[in-house]
Chains A and B, each alone.
Chain A
Amino acid sequence: MKRIFASAHVKRLFSALAALAILELMTGPPGSALTPTAGFTGSFGEASSFFGIFRTQRWVVFLFLALAMYAIWSAWLMWGTQVRAATAKAVSVPRAASRTRPVRWGMAVAVLAVALLLPHLITDPFWQAAMVEQIAVYVLLALGLNVVVGFAGLLDLGFVAFYAIGAYTTAWVTGALPTAAPFGIHFNNFYAIPIAIALAMGSGIILGAPTLRLRGDYLAIVTLGFGEIITIFANNLYGITGGSQGTNTIPHFSLHVGPIKYLWGLTPVPYYYLTIVFVILFIAGFKLLEHSRVGRAWTAIREDEVAAESVGINPLKYKVMAFAIGASTAGFAGVVTASQSNTIFPSSFTLQFSINILVLVIFGGMGSITGVVLGAIVIQTGSMYLLHTPPAGYQPQDLYIYLGALLVVMMIFRPAGLVPSRRRHREIGLAEKGEGHMNEVLTGDTP
């Protein structure tokens, strides 16, 4: 008996069964005291649905899936190295080609063309709105947090604070808050952009200068606290922020230059273009930054702060800089959201929000601009799809189970993210071999 369980095949089979049993419970209907085994004994949807062909008890389907997983796993162990070698050989030529400059530019132009045409290809109002509110804005936020977490290696759990500052600044500048607008003038939203960026950046510096002397976990806790403070301020300063009800009178962006009069907001599409322009600007700026002296200094600090100091890099200055750049990006995202929805209220600026953005960055690949953009698009599109067309048995609150599971699987098979940054990839490789002096962002660093 003992020998049977020691066999690798049996272990694999049981692991597959256990994994699929967990998945079965995860995807199953919500349990209740009366039907505790509903996750196993329920049936798949209606005959007309996709799962109609499996119109049978769930456990039968999952048993088959477990066996399939076991078979694939065994096959991978047997032929995996050959398959991997063959694919590596097959992709080596296209991969080398993709690194050449004309191909990269060509791909960028193609992606840009698709991004510009997208609102005309997708005309469903839900998706048009989601493309702005849930995808483009999140891409911006992920880009900003990537500078802090990915480039500088600082764990920021209060990123939402800067987003809130951007949103509230918009409301203030346009005169939508109980407190008077600056100089009593209700400014156009465009003026809110520089003001929000400056305020978010300023608060990033004010928060960063004293706290960035802290490392790893301590910094995470301070930023977490800052995120909470801003939310509580927004909630409690009734006379200034409108309290828990916030405001719903923020105007849309509008343009009045001579004869040109244009108002955003009739459909989400103009907002999409506005956001895309800024996404492109931020991507270009951060790409240049990454390969500049500043980017190299961040890498040096992330890898070995003591050595970085010894060659004359002031770590505090560069960390504050990363913090301020991240904060101003979030501030800008706040302007877009506030203008587009006309509404802000404190309960939307939660810790959960900060963590969501962090998930996008980790999933996409810390330090990789392509990675975080792709990560944000993939996760946000997936979440929106589940919200818009929920499969049978899916509840909105299930989302985090799936996101969590996705992250666990990612960390096992692709710890550096979807599209890993080359530098980060090396660092993780070195850290696993026990070499290098990597500042582990997520596990606290070595002093």
Chain B
Amino acid sequence: MSDKIFDVDHVTLRFGGVVSLNDVTLHQERGEILAVIGPNGAGKTSLFNSLTGVYQPQEGTITFQGSDAKPMSVIGKKPHRVSAAGVARTFQASRMFSALTAFENIKIGAESHRGIGVAGAMLRGPKTRRDERTSDARTVELLDFVGLRAKANVISSSLSYGDRRRLEIARGLATGPQVLLLDEPAAGTNPSEKLELTTLIRKVRDEMGVSILLIEHDMKLVMSLAERLYVLNFGSVIAQGTPEEIRANEKVIEAYLGSTATETGDRS
């Protein structure tokens, strides 16, 4: 009996006449590092947006199964509800709260799932103070975890690309997720940052037990990190398997990797 954290069943997403996801069926095992690859416009980000409640697919079902909770149907839920259930994400072009410090960015994630208390906030009662302390401690922990402790009070817009990526991961982790969705985490980073990022992502899974779902263009990173891959093309899943199987798959070579297939994983 497999333990599926995400179960996407025959999902179709349309925008007017444009079919963005076409009868997509895939699943992620708990604790797995799963990657979704595919050329530009294949529907990868649409898939992420459907998994997090930003888009509402017209057909099919998406089931998220947290470790102890009842399975939740994602379609029809608002993004903040999906986040509360245990799904965190990062964005393709990193979306920080750019006028806030690294610390504040993470803290917003750490405290977002507690009940709001305007009265508590205005009076600053003991519960509010205790909550603040808990969030502060959690934030510092995460800053350490991603290696940004020294930059805690830097305004996030003045961080480097690599640091922003790590900050975004920390902000997502702060919400206490079961699964972390990473949308092209390596975009715009340099080779040494890429290496650090690979280590960090693996650390997130190994030390925090958070499953990872990854979209990435950088083949070297995907092939070294992912345990299983799905390949999307024109909104449909055209292949799935281990990195070795994908490398050898004729359809993938034709659709996605094209003539540079031989270079994949070795020199790209």
Contact = CB atoms under 8 A, between A and B. Distances in A.
Nearest to B98: A436
Contacts of A314: 78, 80
A310 interface: yes
B175 interface: yes
A311 B54 contact: no
B59 interface: no
Contact of A312 (B83, B124, B135): B83
B180 to A, nearest CB: 11
Interface string A353-397: 000000000000000000000000000000000000000000000
Q: Main secondary structure on chain A at its contact with chain B?
A: helix
Contact count band on B = 35 or more
Contact of A292 (B83, B89, B121): B121
Interface stretch (A160-168, A174-182, A219-227, A300-308): A300-308
A289 B79 contact: no
B118 interface: yes
Interface in A121-160: none
A164 B99 CA distance: 36
Interface of A: 285-286, 288-289, 292-297, 299-300, 303-304, 306-315, 317-318, 321, 325, 423-424, 426-427, 430, 435-438
Given A292-B132, A297-B112, A306-B91, 13 more contacts: A292-B122, A294-B118, A296-B107, A306-B54, A306-B95, A307-B95, A308-B97, A310-B79, A312-B80, A313-B112, A426-B155, A435-B98, A435-B157
Contacts of B78: 309, 314
B96 A307 contact: yes
A321 B119 CA distance: 11
B88 A296 contact: no
B118 A299 contact: no
7 contacts: A293-B111, A293-B135, A303-B97, A309-B79, A310-B83, A311-B171, A318-B116
Given A292-B128, A293-B131, A311-B175, A430 B118 contact: no
B43 interface: no
A296 B83 contact: no
B195 interface: no
Contact of A300 (B97, B113, B123, B132): B97
A296 B96 CA distance: 13
Contact of A437 (B98, B131, B174, B175): B98
Contacts of B132: 292-293
Contacts of A303: 97-100
A321 B118 contact: yes
A297 B118 CA distance: 12
Contacts of A300: 97, 100, 108
A289 B175 CA distance: 22
Contacts of A308: 97, 108
Nearest to B128: A292
Contact of A311 (B99, B112, B122, B123): B112
A427 B80 contact: no
B52 interface: yes
Contact of B99 (A286, A292, A318, A427): A427
A436 B89 CA distance: 19
A296 B109 CA distance: 10
Nearest to B131: A293
A427 B156 CA distance: 12
Contacts of B80: 309, 312-315
Contacts of A311: 83, 88, 108-109, 112, 171-172, 174-175
B163 interface: no
Contacts of B114: 293
A178 B88 CA distance: 57
A288 B121 contact: yes
Interface in B116-174: 116, 118, 121-124, 128, 131-132, 135, 155, 157, 171-172, 174
A339 B201 CA distance: 63
B216 interface: no
A288 B129 CA distance: 12
B192 to A, nearest CB: 24
Interface in B72-95: 78-80, 83-84, 88-89, 91, 95
B104 interface: yes
B116 A321 contact: yes
A47 B230 CA distance: 89
Residue among A314, A318, A427, A430 with the most chain B CB within 10 A? A314
B74 to A, nearest CB: 13
A312 B99 contact: no
Contacts of A437: 95, 98
A19 to B, nearest CB: 33
Contacts of A295: 121
Contacts of B84: 312
Contacts of B83: 309-312
A427 to B, nearest CB: 4
A315 B131 CA distance: 21
A430 B79 contact: no
Given A313-B108, A426-B155, A435-B157, A299 B100 contact: yes
A206 B104 CA distance: 32
Contacts of B123: 288
Residue among B79, B83, B114, B131 with the most chain A CB within 10 A? B79
B157 A299 contact: no
